[in-house]
Structure 1
Amino acid sequence: MAGIDWEDPFCGEGNNCFRIGTDADGNAYLAVAGQEERHLTDSREALRALILGIKAGEADHLL
């Protein structure tokens, strides 16, 4: 996505990879790697999605 500088993905074996990005205004973004167009920008929404992903076993490598 243009305007967002994405970091390298955080990955685990056999799990989804997440990416964190920032823009020129200092805003932070969170997305599943490969789906950056569906990024989260609200910190509460991002935290909720991350917790739900962990509970669903999609991000257990972050525990």
Structure 2
Amino acid sequence: MAVHNWQKSSFSGDAANCVYVSATADGAIKIRESDDPDSVITTTPDTLRAFICGVKAGEFDHLTA
């Protein structure tokens, strides 16, 4: 089993609902949430970059309203 160097989002602070990310040796990005650490999403740097840009642009705001 691969060992991941999980990094917690600085936005999470000491809150319970934390997002963690880890880069793998082959360049993939792993993402997990602290409430369910066994559920891990795998993506690419380009796809994660596009998602983050969309979040910053407000493209998903309607989902939290």
> Under a length normalisation based on structure 1, what TM-score does the superposition of the two structures give?
0.49
Greater fraction of residues in helix: 1
Mark the structure with the bigger radius of gyration. Answer: 2
